[in-house]
C-alpha cells in the first residue's frame, strides 16, 4: 500500500482507552489546525466501535474549536440508543480539557426498500483531466508561501477537477464544482473504513465552493475559512478507492458565512452520499 495511504489508515486505528473512550492521532496537512475531515472520520470510527451490525446512514456534526495536531484527540461515545433497526450515537471530541467537536450519528440495519436517485452530472471522465493538487509551476511560483506549500504536499487522495481552476483568485467563477476523487491505492474490503474515509474526504472542496463567485474580492484581503458544521447522508455502500464524482454547489453566502451542499456519485452513476456544510468565510482588508 502507498505509504501516505497506509499512514492515513493508521489514523483510523483508534486506541481504546475505556469501553466508550478512544484516542486518535493527528497529522499536519499544511493547515494551522487539525483537518476537520480527520476529526469527522475518527469520530465516526469511534462510534462504529460501539456498534455491532448496523451501517451509518447519517451524521450531523459541529466544529467548536481548532484542533491541535501536535496532541492526541480523545473521543467519548455516548450510546444514546440501541434498537432492532436503528442505533444512535453521540460523540464528543476533547483536546486539552475542552470540547473541540461533537457529532450525532445514526446507524441502520441493512434492509430492502423503495429505490430511486438523482442522475449523475454529465462531465468528462477522470482520465481526461489533470490532477487538481498540482497547479502549473508558473502558478505555484505566484502563490503565497503557505498556500504554495499546501499544494506541494503529497496526499493520500487524487483530485481531478472539471472546468477552470483559479488558484490565484483572479476571476469570479460560478458557485459550482465537480471534482473526481479517490485514494491513491487500493484499500481492504472494510465497509466501515470506506465510510469513515468518505467522511474524511467529504470535507475537501465543499466550503470553498462558496468562495468561487467572490474570487477577486477575496484576493484583495486576508481570507479566513473555517467549517462550522457538517452533515452527511450515506445512501449506498461506497468504495473510496475507486473514482467518485463530488459535485458541490453553494446556494448562499451572507453574514460572513457560506453554505454549500454536495453529492457523491460512483463512476457507474450510483448516488453514494450527500453532504451539506456551513462555514465561516471572513475577508479582512489589509491595512493601508
Catalytic residues: 203, 227, 277
* CB atoms closer than 10 angstroms to residue 119: 8
Locus of grid cell 470535507: 203
With 0-12 CB in 10 A as exposed, 13-18 as middle and 19+ as buried, what is 267?
middle
Q: What is the 3-state secondary structure (H, E, C) of the chain?
A: CCHHHHHHHHHCCCEEEECCEEEECCCCCCCCCCCHHHHHHHHHHHHHCCCCCCEEEEEEEEECCCCCCCCCEEEEEEEEEECCCEEEEEEEEEECCEEEEEEEEEEECCCCCCCCCCCCCCCCCHHHCCECCCCCHHHHCCCCHHHHHHHHCCCCEEEEEECCCCCCCCCCCCCEEEEEEEECCCCCCCHHHHHHHHHHHCCCCCHHHHCHHHHHHHHCCEEEEEECEEEEEECCCCCCCCCEEEEEEEEEEECCEEEEEEEEEECCCCEEEEEEEEEEEEEECCCC
- How many Å separate Cα 24 from the centre of its chain? 17
Amino acid at each position: 500500500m502507498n505509504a501516505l495511504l497506509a499512514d492515513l489508515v493508521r489514523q483510523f486505528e483508534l486506541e481504546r482507552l475505556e469501553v466508550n473512550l478512544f484516542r486518535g492521532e493527528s497529522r499536519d496537512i499544511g493547515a494551522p489546525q487539525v483537518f476537520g475531515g480527520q476529526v469527522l472520520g475518527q469520530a465516526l470510527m469511534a462510534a462504529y466501535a460501539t456498534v455491532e451490525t448496523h451501517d451509518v446512514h447519517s451524521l450531523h456534526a459541529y466544529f467548536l474549536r481548532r484542533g491541535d495536531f501536535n496532541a492526541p484527540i480523545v473521543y467519548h461515545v455516548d450510546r444514546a440508543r440501541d434498537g432492532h433497526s436503528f442505533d444512535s450515537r453521540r460523540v464528543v471530541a476533547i483536546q486539552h480539557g475542552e470540547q473541540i467537536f461533537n457529532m450525532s450519528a445514526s446507524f441502520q440495519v441493512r434492509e430492502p426498500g423503495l429505490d430511486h436517485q438523482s442522475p449523475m452530472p454529465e462531465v468528462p471522465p477522470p482520465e481526461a483531466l489533470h490532477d487538481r493538487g498540482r497547479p502549473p509551476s508558473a502558478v505555484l511560483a505566484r502563490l503565497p508561501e503557505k498556500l504554495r506549500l499546501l499544494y506541494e504536499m503529497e496526499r493520500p487522495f487524487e483530485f481531478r477537477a472539471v472546468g477552470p481552476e483559479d488558484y490565484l483568485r483572479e476571476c469570479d467563477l460560478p458557485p459550482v464544482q465537480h471534482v473526481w476523487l479517490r485514494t491513491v491505492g487500493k484499500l481492504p474490503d472494510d465497509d466501515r473504513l470506506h465510510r469513515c474515509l468518505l467522511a474524511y474526504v467529504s470535507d475537501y472542496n465543499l466550503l470553498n465552493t462558496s468562495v468561487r463567485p467572490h474570487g477577486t474580492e477575496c484576493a484583495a484581503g486576508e481570507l479566513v475559512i473555517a467549517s462550522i458544521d457538517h452533515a452527511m447522508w450515506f445512501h449506498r455502500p461506497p468504495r473510496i478507492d475507486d473514482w467518485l464524482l463530488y459535485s458541490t454547489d453553494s446556494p448562499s453566502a451572507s453574514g460572513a458565512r457560506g453554505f454549500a451542499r454536495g453529492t457523491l456519485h460512483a463512476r457507474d452513476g450510483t448516488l453514494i452520499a450527500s453532504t451539506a456544510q456551513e462555514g465561516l468565510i471572513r475577508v479582512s482588508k489589509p491595512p493601508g
